[in-house]
Amino acid sequence: MAKRRIGIWLIGARGGVATTTTVGLVALKKGLIGEAGLVSELPQFQRLQPTAWADFVVGGHEIRQVALADEAMRLATNNRILDPSVINRCKSELARIDPRICLGTLHNTGSTIAGLADKGVPRQESPGEAVERLRGDLAEFARAERIEHVVVVNVASTEPPADAASLPETWAELRPLLQKPRKCPLPASSLYAVAALEEGCSYINFTPSLGSAPAAIDQLARLRNTRHMGCDGKTGETLLKSVLAPMFARRNLPVMSWVGHNIFGNLDGKVLADPLNKQAKVASKDRLLGKILDCQPQTHVSIEYIKSLGDWKTAWDHIHFTGFLGTPMTMQFIWQGCDSVLAAPLVLDLVRFADLARRRGQTGRLTFLASFFKSPYGVEEHRFDRQYQMLEDWARDH
Amino acid sequence: MAKRRIGIWLIGARGGVATTTTVGLVALKKGLIGEAGLVSELPQFQRLQPTAWADFVVGGHEIRQVALADEAMRLATNNRILDPSVINRCKSELARIDPRICLGTLHNTGSTIAGLADKGVPRQESPGEAVERLRGDLAEFARAERIEHVVVVNVASTEPPADAASLPETWAELRPLLQKPRKCPLPASSLYAVAALEEGCSYINFTPSLGSAPAAIDQLARLRNTRHMGCDGKTGETLLKSVLAPMFARRNLPVMSWVGHNIFGNLDGKVLADPLNKQAKVASKDRLLGKILDCQPQTHVSIEYIKSLGDWKTAWDHIHFTGFLGTPMTMQFIWQGCDSVLAAPLVLDLVRFADLARRRGQTGRLTFLASFFKSPYGVEEHRFDRQYQMLEDWARDH
Amino acid sequence: MAKRRIGIWLIGARGGVATTTTVGLVALKKGLIGEAGLVSELPQFQRLQPTAWADFVVGGHEIRQVALADEAMRLATNNRILDPSVINRCKSELARIDPRICLGTLHNTGSTIAGLADKGVPRQESPGEAVERLRGDLAEFARAERIEHVVVVNVASTEPPADAASLPETWAELRPLLQKPRKCPLPASSLYAVAALEEGCSYINFTPSLGSAPAAIDQLARLRNTRHMGCDGKTGETLLKSVLAPMFARRNLPVMSWVGHNIFGNLDGKVLADPLNKQAKVASKDRLLGKILDCQPQTHVSIEYIKSLGDWKTAWDHIHFTGFLGTPMTMQFIWQGCDSVLAAPLVLDLVRFADLARRRGQTGRLTFLASFFKSPYGVEEHRFDRQYQMLEDWARDH
Amino acid sequence: MAKRRIGIWLIGARGGVATTTTVGLVALKKGLIGEAGLVSELPQFQRLQPTAWADFVVGGHEIRQVALADEAMRLATNNRILDPSVINRCKSELARIDPRICLGTLHNTGSTIAGLADKGVPRQESPGEAVERLRGDLAEFARAERIEHVVVVNVASTEPPADAASLPETWAELRPLLQKPRKCPLPASSLYAVAALEEGCSYINFTPSLGSAPAAIDQLARLRNTRHMGCDGKTGETLLKSVLAPMFARRNLPVMSWVGHNIFGNLDGKVLADPLNKQAKVASKDRLLGKILDCQPQTHVSIEYIKSLGDWKTAWDHIHFTGFLGTPMTMQFIWQGCDSVLAAPLVLDLVRFADLARRRGQTGRLTFLASFFKSPYGVEEHRFDRQYQMLEDWARDH
C-alpha cells in the first residue's frame, strides 16, 4: 500500500517565510537540523503521531519569479539567518519544488504588492476566473504528486485592510459576487481561501490579510467538510505581549502605557512601509492588550522598514505600570529574532495539526490552534497560557 | 459584638519591606491609595470576602531601633518610592505601631546582620529561651490588641544558608535541640517560625532563609493545627523567569543560556553583599529555570549592591535561545521596580489568604500560595500560570 | 553703588522648562540644591566670573494662566521630578515672579498651541503691533527691576515649520513685512526675537522654532550691537548622537542604520503629537548624523506622546553598523532623563554665557555656544567634543 | 629592487583575534572585503602612505596546535562571525602561514593557560633560554621571508597579574634575573617583549598582561632604538566608557554609579573565568572612569564566560547620574559586538602605525597610539576624543 502523503501549498511560496519553511522541511527530511522551534515535536503532541516530515510534499502560488535555492542563499548571505552549507545540501530538492510553484493572483492586494509582481501574473481575470485557475493548480498538484490531503497556508505579504463589513453573511450570497469584479471586495488571500476550501483542502491564514475571516467563507468550509484557521502568526513581540500581559493582570499591576517599536528589513517590512498595508498589521498587534488587561492602557505600535536588518526583527517594548502606593515602574524588553525562522516551524506545525484535525473529522474553524495566532478566528482568549492549554486539552482528548 | 481583628506580625518590622507594608496598610485604611499591586483585591478573590484592611493590626520583631515614620521618610526622600505627603498623613498611626515592635533574636544570622543590630538585642539566650521570649511577645500582642488570629511574616534580611541536612525529621527529635545552643543549627528565621506555630499563629516566610522549611517544623504546624508557607517572595526578575521560561518550553525553543544581573542599593542589598548571605538568595533565584525548561541552560545570576539605586532594583536578563534551523536568537529584558513596593502588597495578600485558609481549617503547608514564592514549599510546579491556576482553583472551591 | 542685575526673560514662562529653570534658580539662590547639571559651574568657566545666581531676576511671556508654584507642584507630584519640599521653600519667591509674566503672542504658532492659550491672549494685533507690545514688556521689566541687561530665552512649545525660504535677506526688507499680517510668515518665536533684539536684549532660541534663524534677524542683532544664538537645546538623545557618532566615524565603522524612538508625556510632547509641529523637531534631531558620519545611514526618528511618562523622556536608539570583514554589529542605548530637568540648567548656562559675551562686546551669532544646540546657527561642526572645545577655547581666550 | 616587506608576528597566533587578523589580512590582499573597521584607511592617515596590505607577511608564536583554516572555520560555524566562503577562498594562503607559527613559552602564565598548551611546548627552559629561543624564531622569520622590519603583537590570553612592583628600574639590573628562574617574576608576555626588542622588532601589547610595561623594558626599547606600546586593546565596552564619560563630565552631571556586565564565550572568556586572570582585565576596564570623571562613582565590572555566545561579546552598562535639582537619571547601553572582529583591524592598524613610527625614527613608547588602548603606557589622558586628537596631530605633523 502506498504511503499517505500530505501536501503543503504555500501562498507566497518564494517569500522569506515560505523559503525558510521549505528549506527547513527538506533539512528535516535529510536529518540536517534538529527540532528546535517545532511545537509538534514536543512529547505531548508526538503521541498523536503526526505525519512524518518525509511524507510532506511542497507546492505553492507566487507572484515573483526566482529560484528557491537562490532566494534561500540570499537569506543566508544577506541576513546570516540560514547556514549556507545546509542550503547547498538541499539544492537538488529545492530545484524539484520550483516547477510546482504556479502564478498567483493580485486581486485587491494594493499597488505595493502589485509592483513586486512579475509581468506574467494574470491581471485581467475576474475573481471567479482566478478562483477556478487556482483550484486547477491545487487539483493538478494533488493528482501529480499522489497526495491524500493538501493544507494551503497563506504566507504572502500583508494586504491593505479589506472592506469586510459589507460582505454578505452566507456563501450563497457571497458566491455570485465573484463573477462581478467591481462589486467583489475580496482580496487575493480570500480568493485563495475560497479555492482551497472548494477543493476540499484545509486553509491556514498565517497573515493579517482577510483570508477566510468572513462568515460566508467559514460557512463554505463547513459546507465542504473541511477546515480553516487564522489569522496572523504569533511569532515575536505579540507572543511576548500575550505572555507578559497576563502577569500584570494577575498581579493587579495596572499598565498605564505599552509602547512597542518594531524594526526589520525583509520584504514583508518593505510591504508594510506602505501605510495601507501597515494598518492591518498594527491593528492585529495592538488588539490583544485591551482584551487581556482589564484596564485600557495607552498603546502605541510602530513597524518600520530598516533595510540593514534584513530578516532580523528587533522589537523594543516599554511597559509603564503602576505598583503599590501608586509608584510607577517600568519593564522593557528587546527581542532580536529572525522573522522567517520564527514563523517557518509554526507553519509546519499548523500543517501537521490541521491534518490531525482532518483525521479526527473536525470542520470549520480550528479554534484549538489559537496560541499560534495574533488574532485567532472565533477566540476571545488572548492569554498565551490559556490558549496553549486549549491545544494541550485537544491533544489529550485525542 | 466586637469585630474580628487580625494581627500582622512582621519579622524585620522596621526594614524596607515591613515599613512599606505598614505605611501601605495605614494608607489603605485611610483611603489614601488605590489597590494597585494587591492580588486579593481582584474580583475572583474578593468574593471570598477577605478581612477588610480596617481590621488588621500591626506588630513585629526587629533588631534595629528607628521610628517607623523616620524609616518611611527615608524611603521617600532617598529613593523617591513613597509620596512624602502620604507618610505625613499616616504619622500618628505609625507612632502608635512603634511601641508594638519588640526586640528580635540574632541566632545564626551571620556577622553582617548581627553588625546592624542594636546593643539591646539579647545575644546570650539559648534558642529555647529565645523561642519562649518571642512567644511571649506574640501572646501579649494578641491579648493587648484583642486579636483573633496572628499571621507572622518573615521579611527580615536574608540569613546565610543553614545546615538543614543534619536536622531531625520530627518535631519530637528537633525540640530538645533548642536547649543545646551548640548543637542547634536553626537560624533566627526558624526560631520565629517555631515560636509562631507553637503559639497557634500562621507563619509565612517571605525570604530565602530557612524559616519553616524543615520537615520537623512542618510537622509542628500540623500538630498545632496551624499553617505556614514559603519561601522567598517572587516579586521581580524571578517572577519574569517563571512567566517567560514556559513560553520557550512551549514553543520548543531551547534556551542555551540565561544570564541575570541584579543591582540595587537597599539594606537587603547591603546584607546580600556578604557572600554567605548572597548564596542562599542566588540559589533561590536560579533554581526554577532547570525545572521549567526541559533542557538545562547555562545560567548565571548576580546580585550587586549599588548604593545610589536605593530601593530601585534593576535587573537585566539576557536569554540566548536556539530557533528553527539552529539559528541563535536573543531576548533581553530590563526590569526597573521598587523592591519594597513590589513586596509589600504581596505580604498583605499572603496575610489575607493565610487567614482565609485558617477559616477554612487548612493546616500544614499552604501550597495553593505557590505563585507568591520563588521556592514554594512542597511544590514542584514553577510555571507562574499553573501556580496562579492553583490559587484560582482554591478560590473557586471555596 | 548698586549691584549689577541681569534679567532672564523666558518665552513660555509657565511651561515645564521655564518652571524648572525658575524653581532651580530660586533654589540655587537659597542654597537648597547643588550645582549638578550646570556647565558654567565647572572650574574652567568659573574663572570667567559669571554673574552670581543671586543677581538674576526672572520675568517672561506666556499664553497660559497658572501660578508658577502650582505648575511646579504639578511637576513634582505628577512626574516625581522635583522635590516638593524644595518647592514649598521657594513658594514666596515664585509668587513674586508671577506678576512679572506678561501675555505672549500666538502669531503663526499653529492650532495646537493656539488651542492651549487663554482667552486673554491678543489674537487680532498685527505682527508689528505684537513686536511693539512685547518690547514694551521688556522695557518695563528692565526699568522696574533696575536691570543692566536682559537675556531673552525661548523655551515655548515647538511651532510648525515656517516658510523661511521666502524671507528677505536684510532687515531693511524684512521690517516692513511686519506691518502686513497676511504677507508676514514670521512665527511668534521670531517676533519675540525681533522685539528682544530691537530692545538691545540678547536672544537665545532653545527650541527648533524659527526664532532668530533668518539672515535678516541676524543682521538686526548686529545692527543693534547685540547677540543671539540657537537653536534647539541638545539635552538627551541628540546629545548622545553627537557624542557617539564621532566614535563610529573615527574607528571607521560604517553605520548602516540609526533608529531613535522617543517617548514622553509632557506638554511639549502633546504639542509634538501634532504632525506639523513634530516635523520641525524630527528634522532637527535627525540632521546631524549625516554631517558627522561620512556615510549616510538610513535614519528614523520618532517622537510619541505617552501620557503616563510625564516629563520622563525615554529614548531607545538602535545603531546597526558594519565591522571588519563585513560583520554587522549592534549598539543600543536607553536614555531615561527628565526633559525639563536636563534643559533647565542649560538655560541658566546660556544666559550666563550670553551675558559674558556681552561684557566682552561680542555681537551677532554666538557660535562658541554650539555644544548647547541640536542645530547651532552658523556652525557646521556637530561633533560634541569639537563643539565643546570651541567653548573651552573661548573661555581660555577670555 | 625588491619590495619592502613588513612582518606581523602574532603572539597567540592561532587564537581568535590572531586568526581573525590573519584571515582579514589575506582577504584584504585578495580584495574580498572592504575596509570597514580599519582606522588607518581613513583619509587623514592614508596620506601617510602606510604599507600596503600586499606587503605584510604573517608569522607567530602559539602554544596550541591547530590549523589556522580549521580555527577560522570554527569561528565561522560556531559563532557566525566570519563568512565561510571568504575562508574557503583564503585556505591556501592560511596553509602557507601555518608552518611559520612556532612554539611559544608558558613562563608564569598560570595554570589555566598552561592547561590549554600542547605537550610539545617547552616547560623546563629558564626565562633567559626562552628569550633566546624566541629571538631565534624572529630572526629566522625575517631572514626566510626577506622582511625589512617585524612588528610583534601580543594577542595571547590574559595572564594573571604579575608582581611588577619588585622589578628593578633598569635593563642592566633586570637582564641578569632572566638567568634565575626562581627570582624572575616576568611572565611570558614580557619575555616575548624582551625577545622582540632585543631583536630590534617593534612590540605591541594588545592585552592587559605585563608585556613591555616595566620601566626596564621601556629602557631596553630605547637602548635598541626600537619602540613599543600597550596595553589592552580598547574595542568595546571600555571604548564606550571613554567616549561617554567625558560627556557626563563636560555637562557637569555627576555619575553616582557605573555598572558594566560583560558576557561572552570565546577562549579568552574561558581563560578569564579563572579569577586570577580576570583580575588584571577588570582592573584595566575599570581604571579609566575615575580618571575621566572628577567624581569617583561606585563602579562594578563583571566578565562572565557564557559559552553559547561564542565570540559575541554583549555588554550591558547601567549609568546612574545626578541631574539638576538632584534628580537621578539613568542611561543604559547594550553593546553586541564580535570581540575578535573588533580587535583584528586594530591589530593591523597598530602594525601599520608602529611601522610608520619606525620610518620616522621614533623610539620608546608610542604614546600617540593611546586611543587604541584601555591602559595606554605613559598616558594619563583617557578621553577618547583627546586621545584620538593625539593620533591626528601626529599624522598632521608627519
Please enumerate in sequence order all residues whose Cβ is within 8 A of that of C322, keeping only pairs 6 or more positions apart, or say none. C253, C254, C256, C328, C329, D34, D36, D37
Q: Please tell me whether residue B59 adopts helix, strand or coil conformation.
A: strand
Residues C152, C293, single domain; the answer is: no
Written as one letter, the residue type at D33 is I
Residues A21, A130, single domain; the answer is: yes
Residues C86, C214, single domain; the answer is: yes
Instruction: Determine the length of chain B.
Output: 398
Report if residue A1 sits inside a domain.
no
Q: Does B36 touch chain C (CB under 8 A)?
A: no
Task: Decide if pLDDT at B395 tops 60.
Answer: yes
How distant is the alpha carbon of residue D24 from its chain centre?
16
Model ipTM value: 0.94
Cα–Cα distance between C5 and D108 in angstroms, integer? 69
Instruction: Determine the length of chain C.
Output: 398
For residue D268, which of D210, D335, D208, D333 has the smallest C-alpha distance? Answer: D208
The grid cell for B355 is 487567614
Task: Decide if pLDDT at A1 tops 80.
Answer: no
Q: Which residue has the cell 521689566?
A: C141
- The average pLDDT across A331-341 equals 95
Residues C249, C261, single domain; the answer is: yes
- Give the gap in angstroms from C-alpha A243 to the nearest C-alpha of chain C: 23
Q: What is the pLDDT of residues D151-199, one digit of tens each?
A: 999 999 888 888 778 899 999 999 999 998 888 889 999 999 999 999 9
Judged by average pLDDT, the poorest of A35-39, B46-50, C162-166, D308-312 is C162-166
Looking only at the bridges linking them, the beta strands covering A328-338 and B328-338 are: antiparallel
Q: What is the pLDDT of residues A49-77, one digit of tens each?
A: 999 999 999 999 999 888 999 999 988 87
Q: What is the pLDDT of residues B101-155, one digit of tens each?
A: 999 998 888 888 888 888 888 888 999 999 999 999 999 999 999 999 999 999 9
Residues D69, D184, single domain; the answer is: yes
The reply to whether residue A300 touches residue C309, judged by beta carbons under 8 angstroms, is no
| Chains C, D: CB pairs < 8 Å | 180
> Which whole-number Å values give the CA distances from D265 to D118, D259, D307, in the listed order?
22, 20, 4
Which of C300, C308, C332 is facing A257, going by the closest CB pair? Answer: C308
pTM for the complete prediction? 0.94
Cα–Cα distance between C45 and C273 in angstroms, integer? 38
Which of C81, C246, C247 is facing D327, going by the closest CB pair? Answer: C81
Which residues between 274 and 333 in chain D have a beta carbon less than 8 angstroms from any beta carbon of chain C?
322-327, 329-333
The CATH number of the domain holding residue C121 is: 3.40.50.720
Report if residue B283 sits inside a domain.
yes
Report if residue C133 sits inside a domain.
yes
Cα–Cα distance between D88 and D69 in angstroms, integer? 8
Cα–Cα distance between B137 and A219 in angstroms, integer? 72
Helix (H) or strand (E) holding B140: helix B127-144
The reply to whether residue A323 touches residue B334, judged by beta carbons under 8 angstroms, is no
Residues D353, D225, single domain; the answer is: yes
Cα–Cα distance between D154 and D373 in angstroms, integer? 13
Residues B245, B347, single domain; the answer is: no
Q: Which domain holds residue D73?
A: 6-233+341-396
The reply to whether residue A259 touches residue C304, judged by beta carbons under 8 angstroms, is yes
The reply to whether residue C84 touches residue B80, judged by beta carbons under 8 angstroms, is no
Residues B284, B350, single domain; the answer is: no
DSSP string covering D96-139: HHGGGEEE---TT-HHHHHHHS-TTS--SS-HHHHHHHHHHHHH
Strands (E) across chain C are located at 6-11, 56-62, 101-103, 149-154, 202-205, 227-230, 255-264, 298-305, 312-322, 328-338, 364-365
Residues D392, D247, single domain; the answer is: no
Q: Please tell me whether residue D21 adopts helix, strand or coil conformation.
A: helix
Q: Which residue has the cell 626599547?
A: D221
Touching subunits for chain A (3+ Cβ pairs under 8 A):
B, C, D
Residues B350, B331, single domain; the answer is: no
Task: Decide if pLDDT at B398 tops 80.
Answer: no
pLDDT at C165: 80
What are the residue ranges in chain D where pLDDT is below 70? 1-3, 277, 280-281, 283-286
Q: Which of C338, C367, C388 is the last residue of a domain?
A: C338
Written as one letter, the residue type at C150 is V
Half-sphere exposure of A355 (CA within 13 A, CB side): 28
Report if residue D18 sits inside a domain.
yes
Cα–Cα distance between D197 and D216 in angstroms, integer? 12
Q: Which of C338, C364, C382 is the last residue of a domain?
A: C338
10-residue mean pLDDT profile of chain C (398 residues): values are 82 95 97 96 96 97 92 83 88 96 89 83 90 97 96 94 86 93 89 97 96 97 97 93 96 95 82 70 74 87 89 94 94 95 97 97 98 96 97 92
- Give the gap in angstroms from C-alpha C293 to the nearest C-alpha of chain A: 16
Cα–Cα distance between B250 and B255 in angstroms, integer? 12
In percent, how much of chain D has pLDDT > 90? 74
CB D272 within 8 A of CB D278: yes
Q: What is the pLDDT of residues B360-386, one digit of tens each?
A: 999 999 999 999 999 999 999 999 999
- Give the count of domains, chain B: 2
The CATH number of the domain holding residue C241 is: 3.30.360.10
Choose the mutation target among B82, B88, B293, B324 for the interface with A, i.e. most A CBs under 10 Å.
Answer: B324
The reply to whether residue A298 touches residue C306, judged by beta carbons under 8 angstroms, is yes
Report if residue C117 sits inside a domain.
yes
The reply to whether residue A263 touches residue C259, judged by beta carbons under 8 angstroms, is yes
Torsion sign across C-alpha atoms D90, D91, D92, D98: positive
Q: Which of B316, B338, B360 is the last residue of a domain?
A: B338
Report if residue C272 sits inside a domain.
yes
Report if residue D283 sits inside a domain.
yes
Residues C265, C159, single domain; the answer is: no
Report if residue C317 sits inside a domain.
yes
Residues A88, A149, single domain; the answer is: yes
Phi first, then psi, for residue A154 (nearest 5°) are -85, 110
CB D268 within 8 A of CB D277: no
Task: Decide if pLDDT at B266 tops 90.
Answer: no
Cα–Cα distance between C213 and C217 in angstroms, integer? 7
For residue D230, which of D255, D207, D205, D251 has the smallest C-alpha distance? Answer: D205
Which residues between 73 and 102 in chain A have a beta carbon less than 8 angstroms from any beta carbon of chain C?
80
